[in-house]
Each structure stands twice: as structure tokens, then as C-alpha cells.
Amino acid sequence: MADDCRKPFQAEFKRMPLPRVRPGSDFGLDSITAAPVLHPTHRKRNNDTMTGRSGRWNLRMTAKRIGSMGVGLVVATLAVLMIVEISYRLQWPDPHRAEFEKFNPNLESGKKDVSTLLALGDSFTAGAESWPYNLNSILGEDWRVINAGVGGTTITHAERIFRLRFRQFQPDIVVYQTYVGNDLLDLRHPREARGVGVAKRFYWWLADSGIFAPWYLNHRAAGLAARRPFDPESAAAAVTAPFSVDRYSPRDRRLSRLDPNHVERQILVEGPSMEAAWRRYRGALQRLAEQCRENGADLVVLVIPHCIQVAPVYRERFSAMGARWSDSDLLAHSPSPFVTKVRETLKHQTSIRVVDLLPVMQHAEKGGVRLYSSNDPHLTPEGSWLVALQVAVAIR
């Protein structure tokens, strides 16, 4: 009976930590401290908590942490996109300041008390030696030409850019340059085409939805990539070297492969996608015209044709890249359905002129003047000079 009573105390005594005596002590109570020794069952329980009962990492906890990180990343991305979107719509801070200052280096020390012309447009307008640069030389001291062109933009971007530049410079005339080759396509990309990747399809969907942020971030990334050392031989090859499919603009090669009829559909404004794009274009054009009217500025809509409209040599090049059309004579007809629709939209506006460059460019090409680059759909120096001359005639 006595042995049975001692067993619980013996078991408890075994679990008690042994005293630890400091060296040189006299075994006084003040010299004894308890050593924090864990019972083996406690160690096992702690190990199970850290590594899981099977000795592996706790997968559920890891999944929760990864999920939390993913949610945080999505929230941060959406926040950045929202900030960029609001900033671009308000044009504050100036999203295209770098390009603007580059294309207008002498603006602060420029002419005073003269007529002001504001040039809006895409890559045909943007550039230190594009048609606005030539127009400034043609008009002389009586005019100040401000180049607000931004490569890769369409009319929805021009609406936003116009508001900022008009507040800054109060122009007398606004020239909006539009390009038949991709202004509608940039409002409705060929998302249904075969061979379009998921990421590209999603990016195009965002752009077609009227969201500016993804486009602007892509635009800035392309600008940073273009800061690599300038290669004058490559730049000259795009203009003067013999045509080669491999050397031609990658964007046009890709579009000709993905959507062979994309140029024809834009010129003729045919098909559900181009009709939807035209409705967006028309609405933006009407708003731009109304803004000019409210601010007392005349508007000139400058229509640059696609090169396949101008001469057979360019049709042969695009055909070699995979582009297709049903009637080349219809493409070369002036005015094109696109121009006709633009004029119909603005026919009641007395202070607006629509300048269709197709006839004069066809005439120049027949005379032996090459207006478009050999391996790029943009204009040669001769082409930019011809455009500047036509604008000078239109505003005088």
C-alpha cells in the first residue's frame, strides 16, 4: 500500500529539473537555479508543430502565405494601374513631357506675339525632323509651330493631350494628323486572330476597353528600351536599303500574318470590329472638334494614307509579308471610305478642314519621288516635306 502511494510522487520527481549549483557556492538556496529542461514529450510536440506530424513542411500554412502574397500583389498592381489611369486622364503630371521637350527644344526662347499652330498626331508627327519641323521652316517668323505628337497614339489620346497643350499655349490652329493604316486598328485590335497569345490578347482587350494605363506603361517601357546606343546604319537601312521582309517593321509583319486583311478593312471601314472602332473614333473626333470650337481654334484634320493606297510598289511589299485585299483599285480610290466618313462627320463645322493627302502623294510617287521608307511604313524626308507643304497651303 505504501509503495503504491509513493509511485505518483516518484514519477513527478523524475520530471522535476535537477538543481544547478554555481561553482564555489556553499549549496545555499540562493545559489540554486532551475535548469529549463523540457520533457521529451514536450520536445516532440514542438517538433511536430514546426515540421508537421510527418516531418514535412506544413503545406496548408505555406499555401495560405502564398495566397496572401498573391492577393497583396494583385491589390498593389491594381492600385498602381488606378493611379496611372487617373494621372493620364488628367494629364498631370505631364505624361509626355520628355517627348515634348525633345521635339520643341527652343520653345521658351521662341517667337512671341505670333500665330500659334498646335500639331497633334502619332509617330508621323512625333520627331525632331518630322513634318511640323519642316512646317516651321516654311511658315517663317509669322508662326510658332508646336509639336505635340506622340508615337503610338490615336485620337482618344489626342483628346487628352489637346486639353493640356491648349491650356499651355492657346493655339490659333490645331492640326490633328490621323493615319489610315492603324488609327482604327488601335481602337479595336484583332483579338480573335489565330496565333495571338493570352497575354497579348488580354493587353489588347484592356486597350480596346478605353483604359490608358497599360498602354502608357508599355509606351514608357518601349521608350526606355529605345535609349540603347543609336545605330545610324540601322536607321538609314530602314529608309534607303532595298526592301526585305526580314528587315521590315516587326509590327506590320506580325499584323499581316495574324490578320491579312487588316489594312483593307481599315481603309474601307468594313466588318463588325472596324465599324465598332469607327463609332469610337467618330465620337472622339466630334469631341475634339467641339473643344476646338469652344476655345476659338480652327481645326485641320490631316489624313495620311496607308502606303498601299499610294503606289503599286508598296502593295507588292505588303503582299510579300502576307497582307491580302480583294480589290487594289478600290484601295487606291480617292477619297477612301475612311476619308468620306470623316468629312461626313464634320460637314456642319465651318471652321474645320479635312486634308486628304492621297491624291498629291499618288502624283508625287508617279513622278518618281519615294515618300515611304523601304522597310518601314513611315515617311521619308521627302514625304515629310511634302506633308508640311500641304499643311502650309491648307492654313493660308
pLDDT tens by residue, 332-375: 999 999 999 999 999 998 889 999 999 999 999 999 999 999 99
Q: Give a yes or no: residue 302 inside a domain.
A: yes
Average confidence (pLDDT) over 74-89:
96
Q: Give a yes or no: residue 213 inside a domain.
A: no
Is the pLDDT assigned to residue 105 strictly greater than 80? yes
Write down the pLDDT at residue 266: 97
Q: Give a yes or no: residue 46 inside a domain.
A: no
Average confidence (pLDDT) over 186-194:
93
Report yes or no: 325 and 306 within 8 Å, Cβ to Cβ: no
Is the pLDDT assigned to residue 83 strictly greater than 80? yes
Q: Give a yes or no: residue 290 inside a domain.
A: yes
Report yes or no: 120 and 162 within 8 Å, Cβ to Cβ: yes
| HSE-up of residue 362 (Cα within 13 Å, Cβ side) | 16
- Give the dihedral of Cα atoms 310, 316, 320, 321; nearest 10 deg: 0
Write down the pLDDT at residue 106: 84
Average confidence (pLDDT) over 305-327:
97
Average confidence (pLDDT) over 271-280:
97
Is the pLDDT assigned to residue 19 strictly greater than 80? no
pLDDT tens by residue, 94-103: 999 999 999 9
Average confidence (pLDDT) over 131-139:
96
Q: Give a yes or no: residue 349 inside a domain.
A: yes
Write down the pLDDT at residue 27: 46
Phi–psi pair at 225, nearest 5 degrees? -65, -30
Average confidence (pLDDT) over 269-297:
97
Write down the pLDDT at residue 90: 97
Per-residue confidence band for 31, with pLDDT thresholds at 50, 70 and 90? very low
Is the pLDDT assigned to residue 201 strictly greater than 80? yes
Q: Reduce the secondary structure of the chain to three states and give it as a string.
A: CHHHHHHHHHHHHHHCCCEEECCCCCCCHHHEEECCCCCHHHHHHHHHHHHCCCCCCCHHHHHHHHHHHHHHHHHHHHHHHHHHHHHHHHCCCCCCHHHHHHHCCCCCCCCCCCEEEEEECCCCCCCCCCHHHHHHHHHHHHEEEEECCCCCCCHHHHHHHHHHHHHHHCCCEEEEEEECCCCCCCCCCCCCCCCCCHHHHHHHHHHHCCCCHHHHHHHHHHHHHCCCCCCHHHHHHHHHCCCCHHHCCHHHHHHHHHCCCHHHHHHHCCCHHHHHHHHHHHHHHHHHHHHHHHCCCEEEEEEECCHHHHCHHHHHHHHHCCCCCCCHHHHCCCCCHHHHHHHHHCCCCCCEEEEECHHHHHHHHHCCCCCECCCCCCECHHHHHHHHHHHHHHHC
In sequence order, the 6+-apart residues with CB closer than 8 A to the CB of 287 are 159
Is the pLDDT assigned to residue 205 strictly greater than 60? yes
Per the structure, how many domains does the chain have?
1
For the whole model, what pTM was predicted? 0.84
Q: Give the structural domain span for 151.
A: 96-190+230-395
Q: Give a yes or no: residue 139 inside a domain.
A: yes
Q: Give a yes or no: residue 236 inside a domain.
A: yes
Q: Give a yes or no: residue 54 inside a domain.
A: no
Is the pLDDT assigned to residue 24 strictly greater than 90? no
CATH number at residue 376: 3.40.50.1110
